[in-house]
Amino acid sequence: MEKTQNTTLQNPLDKYPKPPYPAQQQEFPGLASKMDPLPDHGEKSYVGSNRLQGRKALITGGDSGIGRAAAIAYAREGADVAINYLPAEESDAQEVIALIEEAGQKGYAIPGDITSEDFCQRLVEEAYEKLGGLDILVNNAGRQQASESIADISSDSFDATMKTNIYAPFWITRAALPHLQPGSVIIATTSVQAYDPAAILFDYAQTKAANVAYVKSLSKQLGSKGIRVNGVSPGPIWTPLQVCGGQPAEAIPKFGETAELQRAGQPAELAGIFVLLAANEGSYATGQIYGAAGGMGHP
User: What is the pTM (predicted TM-score) of this model?
Assistant: 0.96
Instruction: Answer whether residue 74 is part of any domain.
Output: yes
CATH of the domain at 77: 3.40.50.720
DSSP line for 31-82: -GGG-SSPP--STTT----STTTT-EEEEETTTSHHHHHHHHHHHHTT-EEE
Instruction: Answer whether residue 6 is part of any domain.
Output: no
Which residue numbers are catalytic? 204
Instruction: Answer whether residue 36 is part of any domain.
Output: no
Nearest-angstrom CA–CA distance, 48 and 46: 7
Give the residue among 166, 164, 295, 149 at the shortest CA–CA distance from 236. 295
Give the residue among 211, 279, 275 at the shortest CA–CA distance from 70. 275
Beta strands at 136-139 and 56-60: parallel, antiparallel or unpaired:
parallel
Instruction: Answer whether residue 231 is part of any domain.
Output: yes
Give the residue among 122, 43, 133 at the shortest CA–CA distance from 84. 122
| pLDDT > 70? residue 217 | yes
| pLDDT > 80? residue 1 | no
Nearest-angstrom CA–CA distance, 71 and 130: 16
Instruction: Answer whether residue 243 is part of any domain.
Output: yes
Instruction: Answer whether residue 98 is part of any domain.
Output: yes
pLDDT at position 291 is 96
Amino acid at 109: A
pLDDT at position 283 is 98
pLDDT at position 3 is 56
Instruction: Answer whether residue 250 is part of any domain.
Output: yes
pLDDT band at 299 (very low <50, low <70, confident <90, very high): confident
Q: Which domain holds residue 104?
A: 46-292
| Number of folded domains that form the chain | 1
pLDDT band at 287 (very low <50, low <70, confident <90, very high): very high
Amino acid at 160: A
Instruction: Answer whether residue 241 is part of any domain.
Output: yes
Nearest-angstrom CA–CA distance, 272 and 32: 20
pLDDT tens sequence across 126-174: 999 999 999 999 999 999 999 999 999 999 999 999 999 999 999 999 9
Nearest-angstrom CA–CA distance, 138 and 71: 10
